[in-house]
Chain A
Amino acid sequence: MIFDSHEAYLAANFKPKVCILGSGPAGTTIARKLGAAGIPVVVLEAGSREFSDESQDFYRGTTVGDFYFDLDITRLRYMGGSSNHWAGWCRVLDKQDFEPKAWAPDTGWPIRRTDIEPYLPEVHDILELPDFRPDVPISDDIRWVQLIKSPAVRFGEKFADELDKSRNIAVVLNTYATELAGDGKRVTGAKLWSNGQDAGAFSADYFIVCTGGLENSRLLLWSNQRSNGGVVPNATALGSYWMEHPTFEGGNAILADYGEFEVDAVNEAFFSPTLAAMERLRIMNFGIRLIETPYAGVKHVIADLACTAPDMAEWVAYRLSQNLRCAAQLYVAWEQAPLASNRIELSKTDVDHAGVPRIEMHWKKSELERRTLVEGLKLFGTTLIEKNLGRVRLMDWIANSEDYPTDEETAGHHHMGGTRMGTDITRSVVDANCKVHGMDNLYVGGSSVFCTSGQANPTTTITALACRLGDHLSKVVAV
């Protein structure tokens, strides 16, 4: 059932056991799992069926530190959430992403990749993915990895008909849960806002917060402040360890034979470091995205190479004269070290129309990440040399140790951390089952539970974790 207003929902007299906040990939997936298990569940979606400026305005906020996108641009507030502008890139986090790393504090998950692998067949169905191919080692340091460009499922569109016909799932649109109330053991209810006014309280046996990688922290911070610590009793890490995938054009490559690498349907290939290389260089994970350079760009690269290595430039010009593809742009996205200083706070001066403080995000890239970018590109360049595959040129701002440019892509719109998973209650917010530490009936879904970001786009892992949480809740709630 889908209700366009809270009033319509109340008239239906539906009695849910579980309340999910948010209808993005995590919320929708968990709802479908619970519905399939025969458990009545309500999904409260703050937005409507379509985009609106009025709804997006609730997402405005500020950023302190490095340049970042406007917070009302980098996410979407309507049915299906940010899947509505998802590009569709898919890959599950690597096995090594779940492991602690001695050179990077606060890394390591309380679960392993094997804990989510049983859910990958479901994820493939949901995201309409073919099977992933295994990584291919290029050298001891670099591996070819596969990212699949999926059809970019819009969860609100794809599952609207199924949700509408479900007797166990009620999706309530235009209904904003502004805060949760709790007594330090249980969430006792949610305060709602609908049609521009307070819409009373809402109760259920269980609450699952799936409002997004920024909003989850905001809602829990505000709820905790309003209930004097009654919603997140161990809140030291709440809002902290927020992460993105910084993304920049890192350089160019001259390739001996573009056909040496398997490229996807859009002529792109991806490369990542081995764990051994990460350990040796003490860097984070990264992904180098190799994109064939347009012809005019090739000439520029050859001209630049001719200044330094004329023989090599001669060879490349020869290849070019044969109309062969021989150059590529290199885009680098890398794993951000989890730092408590990268965090979401509540604004002390600015609130949304419902009176909830807006986000003040503190975000800065660290020296470890700069080293990851530089050493990663050098590692890739060295590998191309050792395997006689080509040569790499770093962008000037990287070679000259200049500041990050502000006129580029900057990051992936991937919002991770803030309610991270862990066993240490001073450094995490939820446990291995995504249950908030100390609370009996409060869970969190989505990328805010990520302990580390890896280098892969998060939606595939978000969906796998949501399948896992849905299965877990089906057993817990049925008891």
Chain B
Amino acid sequence: MCFFKKMSRRTLVQALIALPALSLFRKLPEADAARAGPSRADPSPADPNEIVEVNGWILKRSDLA
């Protein structure tokens, strides 16, 4: 089970709301850049645009951190 489910809902949401600030330090792409596709180099040999199904989510491989 995901460790998020062991946290209180309030703690979880507070953490999630705070996440955008972390991107300043982690040099993540601008938030809306996610709409324009992957902008980081993917070190794995797998196609970053490959469609994968993980935990019920239909995702691009590059979505997986």
Q: Is B57 an interface residue (CB 8 A)?
A: yes
Q: Which of A152-160, A204-212, A307-315 contacts B (4 or more CB under 8 A)?
A: A307-315
- Interface pair A308/B55, CB less than 8 Å apart: yes
Asked, given contacts A309-B63, A318-B19, A321-B17, whether A391 binds B55 with beta carbons under 8 Å apart, the answer is no
Q: Report whether A309 and B59 are in contact in the complex, using a CB–CB cutoff of 8 Å.
A: yes
Cβ A314 vs Cβ B58 within 8 A: no
Q: Report A248 CB to chain B, min CB distance, Å.
A: 15
What's the minimum C-beta distance from B3 to chain A, rounded to whole angstroms? 8
Q: Is the CB of B58 within 8 A of A309?
A: no
- CB pair B57–A309 under 8 Å, yes or no, is yes
Chain B minimum-CB-distance residue to A377: B58
With A299-B13, A309-B57, A309-B64 already in contact, the answer to whether A314 and B51 are too (CB < 8 A) is no
Residues facing B in A388-408 (CB within 8 A) are: 388-389, 391-396, 398-399
Q: Is A262 an interface residue (CB 8 A)?
A: no
Cross-chain contact B56 with A399 (CB below 8 angstroms): yes
Which B residues lie within 8 Å of A311 (CB)?
28, 34, 63, 65
Expressed in whole angstroms, the minimum distance between the Cβ of A391 and any Cβ of chain B is 6
B20: contacting residue among A317, A378, A396, CB under 8 A: A317
Verify B19–A314 contact, CB threshold 8 A: yes
Q: In the complex, what distance in Å separates the CA atom of A319 from the CA atom of B19?
A: 11
CB-defined interface of A302-346 with B at 8 Å, one 1/0 digit per residue? 111111111111110111110000000000000000000000000
Against B, the Cβ 8 Å flags (1 = close, 0 = not) of A251-281 are 1000011000000000000000000000000
Smallest beta-carbon distance B31→chain A, Å: 5
Flag if A303 contacts B63 (CB, 8 Å): no
Minimum CB–CB distance from A368 to chain B (whole Å) comes to 21
- Cβ contacts A356-398/B at 8 Å (1 or 0 each): 0000000000000000000001100110110011011111101
Q: A315-B34, A321-B20 are in contact. Are A391 and B51 (CB under 8 A)?
A: no
Q: Is the CB of B2 within 8 A of A312?
A: no
Give the shortest distance, in Å, between A293 (CB) and chain B (any CB). Answer: 15
Size class of the contact patch on chain B: 20 to 34
In the bound complex, CA of A451 to CA of B54 (Å): 38
Tell yes or no: B4 within 8 A of A by CB.
yes
Q: Are A306 and B51 in contact (CB under 8 A)?
A: no
Output the least CB separation between B25 and chain A (Å): 12
User: Which residue on A lies nearest to B54, using beta carbons?
Assistant: A308
CB distance A308 to B58 under 8 Å? no
A60 to chain B, nearest CB (A): 40
Whole-angstrom distance between the Cβ of B50 and the nearest chain A Cβ = 10
Q: Which of A302, A307, A319, A382 contacts B55 (CB 8 A)?
A: A307
A394: contacting residue among B9, B23, B32, B56, CB under 8 A:
B56
From residue B41, how far is it (CB to closest CB) to chain A in Å? 14
**B59 & A308 in contact (Cβ 8 Å cutoff):** yes
When distances are taken between beta carbons in the complex, the residues of chain B under 8 Å from A398 are 56
Are B22 and A314 neighbours in the complex by a CB distance under 8 Å? yes
- Closest chain A residue, CB of each to CB of B12: A303
User: Which residues 14-65 of B sit at the A interface, judged by CB distance below 8 A?
Assistant: 16-17, 19-20, 22-23, 28, 31-32, 34-37, 51, 53-60, 63-65
A-chain residues with CB within 8 Å of residue B22 when the two chains form the complex: 314
**B40 CB to nearest A CB, Å:** 9
**What are the residues of chain A within 8 A of B58 when measuring CB–CB?**
377-378, 381-382, 384-385, 391-394
Closest to A296 in B: B9
Q: How far is the CA of A393 from the CA of B23 in the complex (A)?
A: 24
Across the interface, A317 reaches (CB within 8 A) one of B5, B17, B51, namely B17
> Which of B28, B36, B53, B65 touches A378 (beta carbons < 8 Å)?
B53
Of B20, B60, B65, the residue contacting A310 (CB under 8 A) is B65
In the assembled complex, which residues on chain B have CB atoms less than 8 Å from the CB atom of A310? 65
Provide the bound-state CA to CA distance between A398 and B55, in Å: 11
The 6 closest A-B pairs by CB, nearest first: A381-B58, A399-B56, A307-B2, A317-B16, A318-B20, A309-B63
B interface residues with partner A (beta carbon < 8 Å): 2, 4-5, 9, 12-13, 16-17, 19-20, 22-23, 28, 31-32, 34-37, 51, 53-60, 63-65
Beyond contacts A308-B54, A317-B19, A381-B58: 11 other A-B pairs, Cβ-Cβ < 8 A, are A299-B16, A303-B12, A309-B54, A311-B63, A314-B16, A314-B20, A314-B31, A320-B16, A391-B58, A392-B58, A393-B57
